[in-house]
Amino acid sequence: MQNLKDWARKNGYKRIPFRLTRTNHLLVRASVNGVPGRFILDTGASNSCVGLEEVEHFGLSSIHSEVLAAGAGGGGMSTQLSHGNLLKLSYSSQRDFTLVVFDTSHVNAALEQYKVGRVHGILGADLLLAGQAIIDYANSCFYLK
């Protein structure tokens, strides 16, 4: 029987490692517009996002959005959109990637309580669906096409 790693490679997938944190979050290293960052891979997040405080860090240009964000930290949070970004994860890259920008301080406050360290943002289902993602929990990685 063929293993997942070989099958994924033969079918055009790129392998991206993650680290499981003590809070059971999947931590991924990625870069946005050439600037490295730490992100949580979250299958329950509809969109990939970064915190308002990260706009300058990643050199983002953003515009106001009428859509309000909701999540584990609450609802009704105002958002901005940043279009045309380059997202790189290991050997995989997504050009013209859109990020939602909103206040993620509640995310980092929760992570700091457990001494996990802050993250720059969250990678969500938009990325996973577009890349036809396969998550390999046993080998601490995921694959994107």
pLDDT in tens, 90-101: 989 999 999 999
pLDDT at 75: 55
Q: What is the CATH number of domain 4-144?
A: 2.40.70.10
Extract the runs of DSSP E, i.e. beta strands, from the chain. Answer: 14-17, 19-20, 26-32, 35-41, 49-51, 63-71, 74-89, 92-102, 121-123, 134-136, 141-144
pLDDT at 32: 98
pLDDT at 71: 54
Q: What is the mean pLDDT of residues 18-45?
A: 97
pLDDT tens readout for residues 101-137: 999 998 899 999 999 999 999 999 999 999 999 999 9
